[in-house]
Amino acid sequence: MVDLSVKIGDVTLQNPIMPASGAFSWDYGDVIDLNRLGGLVAKTICREPRLGNPTPRMAETEAGIIQSIGLPGKGIDYFLENIVPEYNKWEPPLIVSVSADTAEDFAAMTRDLSVDGVDVIEVNISCPTKAPSGGNFAMHSEHTKEVMDGIRAATDKPVWAKLSPNAGDIVSIAVAAEEAGADALVLCNTFLSLKIRTDNFRPALGNKFGGLVSPALKPIVMRMVYQVAQECSIPVIGIGGVTKAEDVVEYMLAGASGVGIGYAGFRNPTALTTIIDDLDEWCDERGIKEISELIGAVRDDDIEWDPLVAASHGV
């Protein structure tokens, strides 16, 4: 028996597998047993009810989709009254995700969400289609610091900061979030993208821009997780392109303590629970007793840097 549990700060997850915000809801309980997941992650909520972006909100690309949903929802009051109880019917910890347009409202919303039934507050400071200072704070370390300071002061709940792959220097932003008191870092949100249809010369999405979601992006996020895990001491959660147990292992080797999964659950609603099963088996076959051993276990301390030596080692 493998111990799949991981600790993200003070929160213990029974396994490192979580859905990704916005790509999941309790509706998935129609297909799989949600009690098996490491955590339940709600769709990002905003203060006021929002319709979201114009349709089409999704289009297929070469290797995945671009999407632009626009954070639709019924607002925070409805969320607390109806959606939190819906998730609380299940056992895994509830991670709520929140977005706001100003640092003040971010803090206020975090405070308002700090209620029983909410275990973790994930702050989505990286909505790709928003301006750097209006919801996409994670594009700059100063904005990150500012918004995270307010958030930290507003709650005693664990706060996880979701960062943006569109930022140029992910490490400085991660460090800013850590210094402001984040309990964990979630890497990453989606890649700002554009698809233009060659049949009618129009953008494929109603919102013009959208976030690219594709298994192909995993190596980019893997690099970010690795870089951030080297510099920060709080846990990192890797999100991007996980479709199988080996992907979870790879993220953990790079330094992640857990993963989030979006696309794979669209393709196969049984993906998340299957990955948990496969992860268990993968560890078992290799005699790994505690999956947490894998965190940061990449073997990169004895790389052969002399090209003349390396290229004599064969294929």
Partner 1 sequence: MTDLTPEDKYSAKPIRIGEVDPHPDKPTGEFISIVVSNDYVNDEYLKMVVDVPDRALTAKAGQFYHLLCPTPDGAEVWMRRPMSIYRVDTGNKRLEFLYKKEGRGTQGMAMLEKGEEFNIVGPLGVGFWLEEGWKNIVVLGRGVGLATLAPLSQLAAEHNVGVTAILSARNPEVVMSRDLFEGLGANVIEVVDTDGSSDVDNVEKILEGLITDGKADAFFTCGSNRLLTLMKRLGKAHDIPGQVAMEQNMACGLGACYICMRTFEVDGEKTLRRVCRDGPCFNMQEAVGW
Ligand X SMILES: Cc1cc2nc3c(=O)[nH]c(=O)nc-3n(C[C@H](O)[C@H](O)[C@H](O)COP(=O)(O)OP(=O)(O)OC[C@H]3O[C@@H](n4cnc5c(N)ncnc54)[C@H](O)[C@@H]3O)c2cc1C
Ligand Y SMILES: Cc1cc2nc3c(=O)[nH]c(=O)nc-3n(C[C@H](O)[C@H](O)[C@H](O)COP(=O)(O)O)c2cc1C
* Residue 303 is a binding residue for ligand X (CB under 6 A): no
Q: Which stretch binds ligand Y (CB under 6 A): 79-87, 177-185, 223-231, 255-263?
A: 255-263
Nearest approach in angstroms of CB 190 to ligand Y is 5
Contact with partner 1 (CB under 8 A) among 88, 111, 244, 298:
244
Q: What is the SS3 string spanning the chain?
A: CCECCEEECCEEECCCEEECCCCCCHHHHHCCCHHHCCCEECCCECCCCECCCCCCCEEEECCEEEECCCCCECHHHHHHHHHHHHHHCCCCCEEEEECCCCHHHHHHHHHHHCCCCCCEEEEECCCCCCCCCCCCHHHCHHHHHHHHHHHHHHCCCCEEEECCCCCCCHHHHHHHHHHCCCCEEEECCCEEEECECCCCCCECCCCCEEEEECHHHHHHHHHHHHHHHHHCCCCEEEECCCCCHHHHHHHHHHCCCEEEECHHHHHCCCHHHHHHHHHHHHHHHCCCCEHHHHCCCCCCCCCCCCHHHHCCCCC
Residues 272-301 that bind ligand Y (CB under 6 A): none
C-alpha span between 107 and 189 (Å, rounded): 20
- Sign (positive/negative) of CA torsion 268, 270, 273, 277? negative
* Residue 190 is a binding residue for ligand Y (CB under 6 A): yes
Contact with partner 1 (CB under 8 A) among 7, 10, 12, 33:
33
Contact with partner 1 (CB under 8 A) among 100, 103, 185, 271:
271
Q: Of 139, 107, 108, whose CA–CA distance to 125 is shortest?
A: 139
* Residue 25 is a binding residue for partner 1 (CB under 8 A): yes
* Residue 315 is a binding residue for ligand X (CB under 6 A): yes
Q: Which stretch binds ligand Y (CB under 6 A): 223-231, 244-252, 259-267, 302-310?
A: 259-267
For a second copy, the closer of residues 10 and 169 by Cβ is 169
Residues 55-114 that bind partner 1 (CB under 8 A): 55-58, 60-65, 67, 69, 72
C-alpha span between 261 and 248 (Å, rounded): 10
Nearest approach in angstroms of CB 291 to a second copy is 13
For ligand X, the closer of residues 11 and 65 by Cβ is 65
- Which residue in the block uniquely carries the two structure tokens 């009254």? 81
Interface with a second copy by CB under 8 A: which residues?
51-56, 61-64, 66, 70, 139-140, 166-169, 191-196, 198, 200-203, 206, 208-209, 212, 214-220, 222-223, 226, 241, 246, 249-250, 253-254, 297-300, 303-311, 313, 315
* Residue 243 is a binding residue for partner 1 (CB under 8 A): yes
Contact with ligand Y (CB under 6 A) among 2, 261, 272, 276:
261
Q: Confirm whether 127 is a catalytic residue.
A: yes
51 binds, among ligand Y, a second copy, ligand X, none (CB under 5 to 8 A by kind): a second copy
Binding site for ligand Y (CB under 6 A): 20-23, 43-44, 67, 69, 71, 97, 124, 162, 189-190, 213, 239-242, 261-264
Catalytic residue positions, numbered: 127
